[in-house]
Structure 1
Amino acid sequence: MAFRPDARRLAVSAPNGELTLWDTTDPARPGRAGRLRLGRGIVAAAWNPAVSDRLATASTDGTGAVWRVGDDRTPEMLARWRALPDRPRHVGWVAGGTRVFVMTATGRTTVWEVAGGACVGQSDLSGGRPVVAAHYRRDEVVAVTGTGWARAWVPTRQPGEWVRLTGKPVSACAWSGAWLVVAGSDGQAACFDAEFQPVHALRVARERPYALACPEDGRLIASCGDNWAVAVDRGGSVRWESYLAPSAARSIEVAGDLVAVSGDQPRPVILALADGAIMTGEHV
């Protein structure tokens, strides 16, 4: 799932490989705004941080693509390339939104220039370690492993040194412009700054979170489980809790003043970031 930074479009993938675009301009009544499919199905998507109508996707057959998703036009594919020989799991942007990275669950990564389609670099970033999350830090691709390590890579260079984040298994991660949050299966989390320096530890949930999300300013950390979503502040105080239908929340994203959660149900649930109020019906 990927929430556009302006909170007006949400991309949600389905088990059949179809990516549904939702218009969340009116969070009480999200409506379908288009469908995307490529290769044998899309498994990951990410919005460009600088150009609001650009969406990068990765498909099960290793195909990467960039789409123009305007508010008043049919989605249009702008670029397509064979990114990986294996099934990807992560996709994202680097270098101010001019490059796209695609990564497998075991860290095999390629980076491509959007303009011209040239391959900038390839790397086995995690050495085969399972990757829980991938994101960007300036011109670097960052991988966080399930064993609690992080590694950054500038595509034109060799991967950097491994950084030990935690000695516990990692179940979920989130990052913003302010910090990186790494949570374990017990709901305890460690927070780091952009240089991977520890900031503090806190509890983000009472049980294992499936996913985490942060607004850009890092003022809250939202997490979700089978039938719940919760947000805590930087000090670890619970700001709100919301209870949802069973299996309604397997992934979570934050954009603007909204929180989107998605699970087994076809339609996402939208909550208010301020108080966790459910803004759209779970079974609409």
Structure 2
Amino acid sequence: MTNKFSRRTFLKRVTVGTLGFVGLSYGGYYYAREFEPRWLNTIYSTIESQRIPKPFNDFKIVQITDTHMGFHYKIEDFEKMIKEVNQESPDLIVFTGDLTDDPSILSDAYFEKIIQIFKQLEAPFGKYWIYGNHDHGGYGTRMIKNVMQRSDFKLLQNDKVKIEKDRTQINLAGLDDVLLGSPRISNLLSDEETNQFNILLCHEPDFARQTINFPFDLQLSGHSHGGQIQLPFVGYIVTPRLGTQYVEGHYELGQRPLHLYVSRGIGTTRLPFRFFCRPEINVYTLQST
């Protein structure tokens, strides 16, 4: 039996379908702009290596990256995120670049708020940071350096530090930004440090293709935002240069091997949206094997 629709029924169904589509579109827009970018996730990873000294068992490193302050990410969100980091009781905190989206448009008063909030972070083995591409350019390079220094973060710009515990050590190195800085990786580690546990902070994850030529065990990166928008059957929508091959999560590369971890980061850039790509802070726990 064939069902016949009256003109009234047809128009009713078309109207309901149109309104439903508009409603879903608006709902998706609101979710991607207002909800998901503030739905902060905490990702836990365990890093195992025979090069990690026994005293560093359960040593906790928290990575923050890509806040992009001034572009859709508010001071209130920043303050909430800082409290969540402190709740993890990290031993060491690293910030892997892109504090602001455009430092030239932010006022001194805004930077003062960032400093006062950032100073609340606590880590007994220190707080370290590297430049991202949005931190460089114009007077921004100097401004961001001043903000981070006053926030009690130590800059690693083609430099390294020894993190010591119970007369053992691991090495933490940081590169200048690959895109807009002058990264120099070849002289970061000495020959005697080859067999130690070595961590590299590098803003752009795709630089790992060069890192594997050096004796690093762990690279922590951001920059890619996890694609920021992910669509089924399509994949990553927003991937920047040097953030296209390794976009999010964990990768094992090279013979040593190098473990690359790419954080989705916290803020947004270019588009004020996140979709199927929640912002995150990352907690790494070291384990000696």
* TM-score normalised to structure 2 length: 0.29
Q: Which structure has the highest strand share of the two?
A: 1
Q: Which has the larger radius of gyration?
A: 2
Q: Which structure has the highest helix share of the two?
A: 2
Q: Larger relative CO (CA 8 A, sep 6+): 1 or 2?
A: 2
* TM-score normalised to structure 1 length: 0.29
